[in-house]
Amino acid sequence: MSNQDILTSVKEKAQLWLSENYDNETRNQVKYLLENNENELIDSFYRDLEFGTGGLRGIMGVGSNRMNIYTVGTATQGLSNYLKKEFKDLPEIKVAIAHDSRNNSRLFAEAAAGIFAGNGFKVFLFEALRPTPELSFAIRHLGCQSGIVLTASHNPKEYNGYKAYWNDGGQVVPPHDNNIIDEVNKITDIKEVKFNGPKENITIIGNEIDEIYTDKIKALSLSPESIAQNADMKIVYTPLHGTGVKLVPMVLQKMGFKNIIHVPEQDIPDGNFPTIVSPNPEESAALNMAIEKAKETGADLVMATDPDADRVGIAVRNNNNEVILLNGNQAASILIFYLLTKWKENGKLKGKEYLVKTIVTTELIADMAKAFEVPCYDVLTGFKYIAEVIKQNEGKATFIGGGEESYGYLAGEFVRDKDAIMACALIAEAAAWAKTQNKTLYGLLLDIYGKFGLYKESLLSVTKKGKEGAEEIQKMMDNFRQSPPQQINGSDVTSILDYQKRKAFDVAKGTETEIDLPKSNVLQFITKDGSKISIRPSGTEPKIKFYFGVRSNLSDVKEFEKANQLLDEKIKNIIVDLKLK
């Protein structure tokens, strides 16, 4: 299709948004784009914002390819239609709704509540912003069949999103995800969306759920005596203008911590995120103000949650008393080691417990699980797959904990999504426990490396925006799939795992085996020296991600810096060899 054909098609589509079915402000904005900005018009209308397996996520604005009350409305009506089919025998269908601090999140949440109500559902709408994991908890606690949260997680301020959950409190998985997509795609006219349902179908919820949820987290405590000994341990916490502002301090206080230090400027919920470039705890700059506060106050631990408080970034003091950032794999490893150690010490390992991690998360977790004789499941990237394993094991085995390299962690079974509120509580407890042994979390991490080996991981994200960017990302995947490297950094590629084909290829033997996981557009290359390179397009952002994992032995923790530097160089060489930089 030529550029002129695309523009003609886009203009025809945009004209439909000038009808009386759309509000005045929307019509005026569409008219402006038609008359003044063809490039923005094309980006806004060249496709429909896809309701994918993770819901919606996109830039806010007018148009079919933007987050607005009409794209949210279509998604909600499609979900409603599917719920009515799936739960047709129930006398009442119940849904819960939460939202984060982003611009328009409350507007979208109230619009969705009105649509669910218009479909005859009982709706539980949080009174104000609440963390995503609390939405997961509320679905289970209130006996809902589904729920949604309005959030774009850690994306830049111009984004918003919509995530759908099932009755187990986990994000929708097959077959429900694809079935919901089908229902959404069937809606061809905005008049099919039942906006403005009866308000009596909507119940406002809030503090009562907060208390029950945080009490449940407190009950996960494995070492209350460690907290009692270190109740005055200094903890800096920032919600990065997001939803953790109330519940993280609340749960830390319930756990027994008395010295929680705030970053006042970032305690203000604000969808513009005025004190940070990006509200992503994976990016070091997001924690700058909190780290400065730790330096001023002599704090032992820094924690920062993203806008919907499902992920947390951690900073600790190293052996030189400097405040340094941990990456997601390091924080996950510390948390899992703490859980395994205390479960064993407390006599809770009975032989029917397990862990779960994603395929791109450090193999250190799997090695620790093996040492403690606890099974560890590998799943695709996305916490919904961890939740699915928990659901499959209900009544058969007990979930200890799990996580992913992108700063998301979970323990216990009453939430079915990554939970930064819970993670803050347990990481703080792990720090108190380490302190009883005259160690920092950093010292604990070095002990883990000394015992299990030094694992080093790195992530390279390549952003490609717009229609052309999406095509370029797909071309990169096609090239790696059609012409895989035979060597990487001088080491032979011994295995190729293609999760799209669900096949694992043994290069030396020339054989292939089935991968027992759902299809996903992911490639992994394993080399003779044990390096693991994973490639996947992001499902929520215009990015392609490259994950690197390397390992070496660490017989003496005093050699950590030298060994760590060598692994850094190895990753750099891999990146150069793959022509990524």
3-state secondary structure of 128: coil
Element (H, E) at 410: strand 408-411
536, 522 Cβ separation under 8 angstroms: yes
Give the residue from 214, 95, 134 showing the smallest Cα distance to 419: 134
**CA trace torsion 246, 249, 252, 254 (10° rounding):** -60
Distance CA 177, CA 22 (A): 28
514, 499 Cβ separation under 8 angstroms: no
Distance CA 328, CA 330 (A): 5
> Tokens 């997680």 belong to which residue?
153
153 tagged catalytic: yes
3-state secondary structure of 544: strand
Active-site option among 80, 101, 136, 153: 153
Q: What is the DSSP letter of 306?
A: -
3-state secondary structure of 253: helix
Q: What is the DSSP letter of 519?
A: -
For the record, the structure tokens of 249 come out as 């301090």
Cβ contacts of 577 within 8 Å, gap of 6 or more: 485, 487, 488, 489, 490
Distance CA 335, CA 112 (A): 36
Taken as a whole, the chain contains a residue count of 581
Distance CA 488, CA 493 (A): 7
3-state secondary structure of 235: strand
542, 466 Cβ separation under 8 angstroms: yes
Q: Which residue intervals of 453-559 are DSSP H helices?
A: 466-482
56, 39 Cβ separation under 8 angstroms: no
Distance CA 139, CA 136 (A): 5
Q: Active-site residue numbers?
A: 153
